[in-house]
Amino acid sequence: MRSLVLTGGTTPRQMYGLLAGMPVEWGRVTLLFGDERCVPPNDPESNYRMAREALLSRVDAGAVLRIPGELGAEAAAAIYDAAVGRMQPLDLVLLGIGEDGHCASLFPGHPALSATGWAVAVHDAPKPPPDRVSLTLGCLRNARRVIFLVTGAGKADAFRKAQAGEVPAGMIPGAEWIADREAAS
């Protein structure tokens, strides 16, 4: 595995802690992000900050491709698009799912869902903060392997809709799902 894409949110934090202790040749791995909020990297809302605390500070990754969200969505998306374009196809993408069925920062009915290229600027996201950068659906579909992590009864409806292909998290053919009993109920 050369490239591992980390998901944001709260679900993966514990899993990142376990991952940090696994025998991975981290020096050969480039760590990337499925999405990022347009906040500074030390902001409590930053996906990079969560990953740094739970994983990046504990492994010596070959490279970390941080999304510079603090530059604003358009500038950060342009920079990240070029970097991710040089990494295609991504080897392993980890994703979470929101209660509305979004994944990364691709929300139901949002124009960013139909973006081309590898990364897209997202405005007016229904989940705050409103300005984000996300990998595109095409980029996620191009990955060699995609694994969703889903926990809790609050995700059961979204999980069901994803299995029916009704929400963005259900639009990645071949994606694998790791769901706890509550989410899969």
The stretch among 2-10, 67-75, 160-168, 173-181 that binds ligand 6PG (CB under 6 A) is 2-10
Q: Is 132:38 a contact under the CB 8 Å cutoff?
A: yes
Window 109-148: residues binding ligand 6PG (CB under 6 A): 127
- Do 46 and 37 meet the contact criterion of CB atoms below 8 Å apart? yes
The reply to whether 81 sits near ligand 6PG by the rule CB under 6 A is: no
Question: Cα separation of 184 and 152, whole Å?
Answer: 8
Q: How many residues of this chain interact with ligand 6PG, rule: CB under 6 A?
A: 16
| 76-80, Cβ contacts within 8 angstroms, sequence gap of 24 or more | 76/36, 76/38, 76/121, 76/133, 77/119, 77/120, 77/121, 77/133, 80/118, 80/119, 80/133
Q: How far is the CB of 46 from ligand 6PG (least distance, A)?
A: 9
From the list 178, 61, 76, the residue with the least C-alpha distance to 135 is 76
To the nearest whole angstrom, how small is the minimum distance from the Cβ of residue 154 to ligand 6PG?
8
Quick check: 35 binds ligand 6PG (CB under 6 A)? yes
**Contact flag: residue 170 with ligand 6PG (CB under 6 A):** no
98 binds ligand 6PG (CB under 6 A): yes
- Integer Cα distance of 59 and 88 in angstroms: 23
Q: Quick one: which of 56, 136, 58 has its CA closest to 90?
A: 136
Contact string (CB under 6 A) for ligand 6PG, positions 6-25, x = contact: -xxxxx--------------
Under rule CB under 6 A, residue 168 binds ligand 6PG: no
Task: Using the minimum distance from each CB to ligand 6PG, give the nearer residue, 25 or 120.
Answer: 120
Tell me which stretch binds ligand 6PG (CB under 6 A): 4-12, 16-24, 65-73, 108-116.
Answer: 4-12
Q: Tell me if 59 sits within 8 A of 24, measured CB to CB.
A: yes
Enumerate binding residues for ligand 6PG (CB under 6 A). 7-11, 34-35, 47, 96-98, 102-105, 127
